[in-house]
Amino acid sequence: MFGNWVKTALLMAGIVALFGAVGLAIGGQSGMLLGLLIAGGMNVFAYWNSDKLVLRLYDAQEVDETSAPMLYRMVAELARNAGLPMPKVYIANQAQPNAFATGRNPEHAAVCATTGILQLLTERELRGVMAHELTHVKHRDTLISTISATVAGAISMLAQFGFFFGGRGNDRGGGVNPILSVLIMILAPIGAMLIQMAISRAREIEADRGGAEISNDPEALASALQKMQNYAHQVPNTTAEQHPETAQMMIINPLSGSGINNLFSTHPQTEERIARLMSMAHA
């Protein structure tokens, strides 16, 4: 648990610093202070509201024991196994097989499965996926992912604003080096992605391990990952393509791009994840 708080602190420090750097490039010291204030305000807003925003973004609908009995009872059983309060359960009308968890803490958590994953996986495989998502809830990884997705997207928007309106120089009249300004406005969003990538990859591996333990079936989760990997890039997720900062929340990378997108992938290689899970199964 302590390690997760350290990761959260490092993530927030890095993203706030990037936000301030972009503000400096756009408007000097005043721009930097404004950027820091905006970043701080967005962190507070994201803490309380980002889960609702993400669920609305993916048009996720809450379900219960009546509307989705198999999924709801499965999540309830796994939550008991994990020693967690019952999260809210959602289904997103997305053809791509995927799932994610969100919420600021275990008492205010939600897990979401797409219609694609419900159609693709067996009940046993789906159980492994939901256990993976509940591990994110247990480790409070959902707070990391929702806040980082919100602020990383804001950094990109602020950088685009700088390109449209240009840097205004610093408050002492010396002006910010225009080349440096352009570099900051280009590199800041990339830096935000790198922060997300480094934390997200470790988080996914740990969630695989925890999910295998909660479900007591690492082989089922491995099988689910293999199936989803085979289908995910054949079935586009338009919401994720339009909002790539949310890709890190998914159990499988939802983006269909290659090359540079793979370089900045927030997910470990699926083959590596499957190998780790099969080692657990054999042990």
Per-residue pLDDT reduced to its tens digit, 196-232: 677 777 789 889 999 999 999 999 999 999 999 988 7
Q: Residue 85: is its pLDDT beyond 90?
A: yes
Q: Residue 73: is its pLDDT beyond 70?
A: yes
> Which residues carry out catalysis?
133
pLDDT for residue 10: 73
Task: Give the sign of the dihedral formed by CA 214, CA 218, CA 219, CA 222.
Answer: positive
pLDDT band at 8 (very low <50, low <70, confident <90, very high): low
Give mean pLDDT, residues 49-65.
92
Distance CA 86, CA 108 (A): 9
Which H or E run contains 92?
Answer: strand 88-92
Out of 114-118, 152-156, 173-177, 208-212, pick the least confident. Answer: 173-177
Q: Give per-residue pLDDT as tens, 155-166.
A: 766 666 665 555
Distance CA 271, CA 89 (A): 29
φ, ψ at 84 (rounded to 5°): -110, 150
Q: Quote the tokens at residue 261.
A: 């997108």
Q: Residue 170: is its pLDDT beyond 60?
A: no
Distance CA 253, CA 229 (A): 8
User: Can you give the pTM of this predicted structure?
Assistant: 0.78
Q: Residue 32: is its pLDDT beyond 70?
A: no
- Three-state DSSP at 90 gives strand
103: left (phi over 0), alpha (psi -120 to 50) or beta: left
pLDDT for residue 99: 97
Whole-angstrom distance between the N-terminal and C-terminal Cα of the chain? 26
- Report the alpha-carbon angle 95-139-224, nearest 5: 35
Any idea of the CA torsion for 73, 79, 85, 91, to the nearest 10 degrees? -50
- Do 81 and 214 form a contact (C-beta atoms < 8 A)? yes
pLDDT for residue 277: 97
* Host domain of residue 58: 2-282
Instruction: State how many domains the chain has.
Output: 1
Q: Residue 154: is its pLDDT beyond 70?
A: no
Query: How does the average pLDDT of the chain come out, rounded?
Result: 82
